[in-house]
Amino acid sequence: MTDSDSGLEPAPVRLAPGDPAPEFTLPDADGTPVSLADHRGRRVIVYCYPAALTPGCTTQAIDFTAAAGELAEAGLDIIGISPDPPEKLLRFREKEELGITLVSDVDKEVLRAYGAFGPKKLYGKEVVGVIRSTFVVDGEGRIEKASYNVKATGHVAKLRRELGLG
């Protein structure tokens, strides 16, 4: 069971604080292009999740939506990236009443650039797929914080504490 085009996925890159954040322009749930560069001057939480409308990803998106106001006041925007097409992201946003930006990376190029796609353990088996990850990008477009293999439940609260917000 793989998500990979070739079945042979190289080990993902790992971004670290100080690295330039990979630039991207991806369609949101409405098909409108969203670029990381559009947020220059503000910090951005870029979070990568496996699939819309699944239990863990729904929990995480609802938690980010609940924290969005506080995060915006602290100068942080939120962008969620998944390999889902925009139509599925629209259904996800509407069904769960999400108030955050969700973008589509169906080719998984941006997910790979962030090190958020590759081999991972799932229920004890090695599979290839999206590695749930969160990044804080500073106002100049550099990685401030990179977290890989995060848990969906409780992650947003932990991130808020790490950012001195909760």
Active-site residue among 29, 44, 48, 57? 57
Which residues, other chains included, contact 107 with Cβ-Cβ below 8 Å and sequence gap of 6+? none
Q: Could you give the maximum distance between any two Cα atoms of the chain, in Å?
A: 43
Catalytic annotation on 57? yes
- Residues β-bridged to residue 145: 136
d(CA 162, CA 146): 12
CB atoms within 10 A of CB 125: 8
Q: Helix 155-162 vs helix 55-73: angle between axes, to the nearest 10 degrees? A: 30
Distance of CA 70 to the CA centre of its chain: 18
Instruction: List the catalytic residues.
Output: 57
